[in-house]
Amino acid sequence: MDDRFNTAAGWVLAAGIVALGSSIVSGMYFHADSAEHPEEPGYFIEGAAEEGGADAGPDLGTLLASADAAAGEKVFAKCTACHTIDQGGANGIGPNLYGVMGKPIGGHAAGFAYSSALAEKGGSWTWEAMDEWLTSPRAFANGTKMSFAGLGKAEDRANVMEFMSTYGGAPAKPAPVVAEEEPTEGEDAPGAGAGPVEGAEAAAMESAGSMGADQPVPAGNAATNNDGATKVDE
Protein backbone atom coordinates (compact mmCIF):
# COMPACT_ATOMS: atom_id res chain seq x y z
CA MET A 1 0.00 0.00 0.00
CA ASP A 2 2.76 2.39 0.96
CA ASP A 3 4.72 1.52 -2.19
CA ARG A 4 1.74 2.37 -4.39
CA PHE A 5 1.15 5.66 -2.60
CA ASN A 6 4.78 6.61 -2.86
CA THR A 7 4.82 5.69 -6.55
CA ALA A 8 1.70 7.78 -7.27
CA ALA A 9 3.04 10.70 -5.27
CA GLY A 10 6.29 10.48 -7.15
CA TRP A 11 4.55 10.61 -10.52
CA VAL A 12 2.44 13.61 -9.43
CA LEU A 13 5.54 15.41 -8.18
CA ALA A 14 7.40 14.63 -11.38
CA ALA A 15 4.51 15.86 -13.50
CA GLY A 16 4.43 19.10 -11.55
CA ILE A 17 8.15 19.61 -12.01
CA VAL A 18 7.81 18.97 -15.75
CA ALA A 19 4.88 21.39 -16.04
CA LEU A 20 6.72 24.10 -14.10
CA GLY A 21 9.81 23.65 -16.17
CA SER A 22 7.87 23.78 -19.41
CA SER A 23 6.20 27.00 -18.28
CA ILE A 24 9.51 28.62 -17.47
CA VAL A 25 11.11 27.52 -20.73
CA SER A 26 8.14 28.67 -22.85
CA GLY A 27 8.04 32.00 -21.04
CA MET A 28 11.70 32.57 -21.71
CA TYR A 29 11.31 31.58 -25.35
CA PHE A 30 8.20 33.63 -26.13
CA HIS A 31 9.11 36.60 -23.83
CA ALA A 32 5.87 36.32 -21.91
CA ASP A 33 7.04 38.74 -19.22
CA SER A 34 7.92 41.51 -21.66
CA ALA A 35 5.59 41.71 -24.61
CA GLU A 36 7.20 43.07 -27.72
CA HIS A 37 5.40 45.18 -30.26
CA PRO A 38 5.78 44.29 -33.91
CA GLU A 39 8.07 46.49 -35.97
CA GLU A 40 5.22 47.34 -38.33
CA PRO A 41 1.93 47.51 -36.39
CA GLY A 42 -0.57 45.93 -38.72
CA TYR A 43 -1.87 47.94 -41.62
CA PHE A 44 -4.27 50.81 -42.17
CA ILE A 45 -7.25 50.81 -44.45
CA GLU A 46 -7.57 54.11 -46.22
CA GLY A 47 -11.14 55.10 -46.83
CA ALA A 48 -12.17 57.19 -49.79
CA ALA A 49 -12.71 60.81 -48.88
CA GLU A 50 -16.29 61.91 -49.23
CA GLU A 51 -16.87 64.79 -51.57
CA GLY A 52 -18.53 67.72 -49.88
CA GLY A 53 -19.61 67.97 -46.27
CA ALA A 54 -22.72 66.75 -44.58
CA ASP A 55 -25.88 68.62 -45.30
CA ALA A 56 -26.07 71.49 -42.84
CA GLY A 57 -29.84 71.60 -43.10
CA PRO A 58 -31.99 74.74 -43.24
CA ASP A 59 -30.42 78.07 -42.31
CA LEU A 60 -31.16 79.66 -38.93
CA GLY A 61 -33.60 82.20 -40.37
CA THR A 62 -35.66 79.46 -42.00
CA LEU A 63 -35.72 77.41 -38.78
CA LEU A 64 -36.77 80.39 -36.68
CA ALA A 65 -39.56 81.27 -39.13
CA SER A 66 -41.29 78.00 -38.25
CA ALA A 67 -40.09 77.65 -34.64
CA ASP A 68 -42.62 76.44 -32.05
CA ALA A 69 -42.49 77.98 -28.56
CA ALA A 70 -44.61 75.16 -27.08
CA ALA A 71 -42.16 72.57 -28.37
CA GLY A 72 -39.31 74.71 -27.06
CA GLU A 73 -40.84 74.77 -23.58
CA LYS A 74 -40.62 70.96 -23.46
CA VAL A 75 -36.95 71.03 -24.43
CA PHE A 76 -36.29 73.87 -21.96
CA ALA A 77 -37.35 71.49 -19.17
CA LYS A 78 -33.78 70.20 -19.32
CA CYS A 79 -32.57 73.66 -18.31
CA THR A 80 -34.80 74.14 -15.28
CA ALA A 81 -32.44 72.19 -13.03
CA CYS A 82 -30.07 75.20 -13.18
CA HIS A 83 -32.10 78.13 -14.53
CA THR A 84 -35.30 80.04 -13.89
CA ILE A 85 -36.91 82.12 -16.62
CA ASP A 86 -39.83 83.90 -14.93
CA GLN A 87 -39.50 87.64 -14.42
CA GLY A 88 -37.89 88.30 -11.07
CA GLY A 89 -36.86 84.65 -10.69
CA ALA A 90 -33.89 83.86 -8.51
CA ASN A 91 -30.50 82.87 -9.80
CA GLY A 92 -29.66 79.23 -9.26
CA ILE A 93 -26.66 77.24 -10.37
CA GLY A 94 -27.10 79.29 -13.54
CA PRO A 95 -28.47 82.83 -13.94
CA ASN A 96 -32.13 83.75 -14.33
CA LEU A 97 -32.86 83.85 -18.06
CA TYR A 98 -35.75 86.32 -18.23
CA GLY A 99 -35.10 88.81 -21.01
CA VAL A 100 -31.69 87.34 -21.82
CA MET A 101 -32.20 87.53 -25.62
CA GLY A 102 -30.51 90.67 -26.91
CA LYS A 103 -28.73 91.43 -23.61
CA PRO A 104 -24.93 91.54 -23.11
CA ILE A 105 -23.25 88.14 -22.92
CA GLY A 106 -22.15 87.30 -19.39
CA GLY A 107 -23.80 90.26 -17.71
CA HIS A 108 -27.60 90.31 -18.01
CA ALA A 109 -28.42 88.81 -14.57
CA ALA A 110 -27.46 91.15 -11.75
CA GLY A 111 -25.59 89.56 -8.88
CA PHE A 112 -24.67 86.35 -10.67
CA ALA A 113 -21.00 85.32 -10.70
CA TYR A 114 -20.31 84.56 -14.36
CA SER A 115 -17.20 82.70 -15.39
CA SER A 116 -14.45 84.91 -16.79
CA ALA A 117 -14.65 82.96 -20.06
CA LEU A 118 -18.25 84.12 -20.56
CA ALA A 119 -17.93 87.57 -18.96
CA GLU A 120 -15.02 88.40 -21.26
CA LYS A 121 -16.68 86.99 -24.39
CA GLY A 122 -18.18 90.32 -25.40
CA GLY A 123 -21.12 91.03 -27.68
CA SER A 124 -24.78 90.36 -27.01
CA TRP A 125 -27.10 87.39 -27.10
CA THR A 126 -28.18 87.57 -30.72
CA TRP A 127 -30.05 84.65 -32.27
CA GLU A 128 -26.83 83.51 -33.90
CA ALA A 129 -24.81 83.74 -30.67
CA MET A 130 -27.46 81.90 -28.67
CA ASP A 131 -27.62 79.20 -31.33
CA GLU A 132 -23.85 78.67 -31.03
CA TRP A 133 -24.08 78.62 -27.22
CA LEU A 134 -26.87 76.06 -27.19
CA THR A 135 -24.96 73.92 -29.69
CA SER A 136 -21.91 73.64 -27.41
CA PRO A 137 -21.34 75.99 -24.45
CA ARG A 138 -17.70 74.89 -24.07
CA ALA A 139 -16.97 75.50 -27.74
CA PHE A 140 -18.62 78.93 -27.54
CA ALA A 141 -16.76 80.00 -24.38
CA ASN A 142 -13.91 77.67 -23.48
CA GLY A 143 -13.65 77.63 -19.68
CA THR A 144 -17.32 78.24 -18.93
CA LYS A 145 -18.69 76.76 -15.71
CA MET A 146 -21.74 75.44 -17.53
CA SER A 147 -21.45 71.65 -17.80
CA PHE A 148 -24.35 71.17 -20.24
CA ALA A 149 -23.14 69.36 -23.37
CA GLY A 150 -25.50 71.20 -25.74
CA LEU A 151 -28.44 70.50 -28.04
CA GLY A 152 -27.52 68.57 -31.16
CA LYS A 153 -30.72 69.19 -33.14
CA ALA A 154 -31.00 72.55 -34.86
CA GLU A 155 -34.81 72.39 -34.61
CA ASP A 156 -34.61 71.98 -30.81
CA ARG A 157 -32.35 75.02 -30.52
CA ALA A 158 -34.68 77.13 -32.64
CA ASN A 159 -37.69 76.07 -30.59
CA VAL A 160 -35.91 76.80 -27.28
CA MET A 161 -34.91 80.27 -28.46
CA GLU A 162 -38.48 80.93 -29.61
CA PHE A 163 -39.71 79.94 -26.15
CA MET A 164 -37.10 82.14 -24.44
CA SER A 165 -38.10 85.09 -26.60
CA THR A 166 -41.60 84.98 -25.10
CA TYR A 167 -40.04 85.89 -21.73
CA GLY A 168 -38.80 89.44 -22.07
CA GLY A 169 -38.63 89.79 -25.85
CA ALA A 170 -35.79 89.38 -28.31
CA PRO A 171 -34.07 91.23 -31.18
CA ALA A 172 -35.24 90.91 -34.77
CA LYS A 173 -34.84 87.45 -36.23
CA PRO A 174 -32.46 86.84 -39.12
CA ALA A 175 -34.22 86.61 -42.47
CA PRO A 176 -34.44 83.22 -44.18
CA VAL A 177 -31.95 82.67 -46.96
CA VAL A 178 -33.66 82.67 -50.37
CA ALA A 179 -32.14 80.13 -52.71
CA GLU A 180 -31.49 81.30 -56.27
CA GLU A 181 -33.46 79.39 -58.87
CA GLU A 182 -31.34 77.73 -61.53
CA PRO A 183 -32.69 77.42 -65.09
CA THR A 184 -34.06 73.99 -65.84
CA GLU A 185 -32.22 71.79 -68.30
CA GLY A 186 -32.97 72.75 -71.89
CA GLU A 187 -34.29 76.18 -70.97
CA ASP A 188 -32.25 79.17 -72.05
CA ALA A 189 -31.50 81.86 -69.55
CA PRO A 190 -32.32 85.45 -70.56
CA GLY A 191 -29.89 86.53 -73.26
CA ALA A 192 -28.66 83.01 -73.93
CA GLY A 193 -29.10 81.20 -77.24
CA ALA A 194 -30.20 82.54 -80.59
CA GLY A 195 -32.64 85.39 -81.02
CA PRO A 196 -32.77 89.08 -80.27
CA VAL A 197 -32.06 90.36 -76.81
CA GLU A 198 -34.61 92.69 -75.29
CA GLY A 199 -33.43 96.29 -75.42
CA ALA A 200 -30.71 95.62 -78.02
CA GLU A 201 -30.96 96.85 -81.63
CA ALA A 202 -30.88 94.00 -84.09
CA ALA A 203 -27.98 94.21 -86.57
CA ALA A 204 -28.49 93.92 -90.29
CA MET A 205 -27.01 90.46 -90.47
CA GLU A 206 -29.08 89.29 -87.51
CA SER A 207 -32.19 90.66 -89.21
CA ALA A 208 -31.27 88.86 -92.40
CA GLY A 209 -30.52 85.70 -90.49
CA SER A 210 -33.97 85.76 -88.94
CA MET A 211 -35.61 85.47 -92.41
CA GLY A 212 -36.75 82.19 -93.77
CA ALA A 213 -34.41 80.19 -95.97
CA ASP A 214 -36.75 80.54 -98.98
CA GLN A 215 -37.26 84.28 -98.55
CA PRO A 216 -35.18 86.31 -101.10
CA VAL A 217 -32.87 88.94 -99.78
CA PRO A 218 -32.66 92.08 -102.00
CA ALA A 219 -29.14 92.69 -103.20
CA GLY A 220 -27.60 96.13 -102.91
CA ASN A 221 -26.96 96.45 -106.66
CA ALA A 222 -30.28 95.05 -107.87
CA ALA A 223 -31.53 96.58 -111.15
CA THR A 224 -34.38 99.01 -110.92
CA ASN A 225 -36.03 97.68 -114.12
CA ASN A 226 -35.82 94.67 -116.37
CA ASP A 227 -36.09 96.31 -119.77
CA GLY A 228 -32.61 95.19 -120.80
CA ALA A 229 -32.80 91.78 -119.18
CA THR A 230 -32.01 88.80 -121.37
CA LYS A 231 -34.37 85.90 -121.12
CA VAL A 232 -32.68 82.69 -120.16
CA ASP A 233 -34.11 79.47 -121.56
CA GLU A 234 -35.41 77.28 -118.85
Percent of the chain residues past pLDDT 70, beyond the cut: 58
In this predicted structure, the answer to whether residue 215 has a pLDDT above a threshold of 90 is no
Q: Region 180-204: what's the mean pLDDT?
A: 58
pLDDT band at 15, cuts 50/70/90?
confident
Which has the higher per-residue pLDDT, 17 or 109? 109
In this predicted structure, the answer to whether residue 33 has a pLDDT above a threshold of 90 is no
CB 72 within 8 A of CB 161: yes
Distance CA 142, CA 152 (A): 18
CB 118 within 8 A of CB 102: no
In this predicted structure, the answer to whether residue 122 has a pLDDT above a threshold of 90 is yes
Beta partners for residue 106, in sequence order: none
CA angle 155, 159, 164 (to 5 degrees): 150
In this predicted structure, the answer to whether residue 146 has a pLDDT above a threshold of 80 is yes
Q: Region 28-48: what's the mean pLDDT?
A: 47
Q: Region 28-39: what's the mean pLDDT?
A: 54
Which has the higher per-residue pLDDT, 11 or 143? 143
Long-range pairs for 87-91: beta carbons < 8 A, 24 or more residues apart: 87/167, 87/168
pLDDT band at 181, cuts 50/70/90?
confident
CB 19 within 8 A of CB 13: no
Q: What is the DSSP string of 100-116?
A: -TTSBTTTSSTT----H
Work out the number of other CB atoms within 10 angstroms of the CB of residue 63.
22
pLDDT band at 17, cuts 50/70/90?
confident
* pLDDT given at position 42: 38
Which has the higher per-residue pLDDT, 89 or 2? 89
* pLDDT given at position 34: 53
Least trusted range by pLDDT, from 22-26, 69-73, 198-202 = 198-202
Q: Which helix (H) or strand (E) holds 139?
A: helix 137-140
Distance CA 121, CA 194 (A): 58
CA distances from 103 to 5, 116, 124, 220 (A): 93, 17, 5, 79
In this predicted structure, the answer to whether residue 136 has a pLDDT above a threshold of 50 is yes
* pLDDT given at position 41: 40
* pLDDT given at position 178: 87
Distance CA 126, CA 174 (A): 9
* pLDDT given at position 133: 97
Least trusted range by pLDDT, from 59-68, 102-111, 161-170, 177-186 = 177-186
Q: Any idea which fold 60-165 has? A: Cytochrome Bc1 Complex; Chain D, domain 2 (1.10.760)
* pLDDT given at position 162: 98
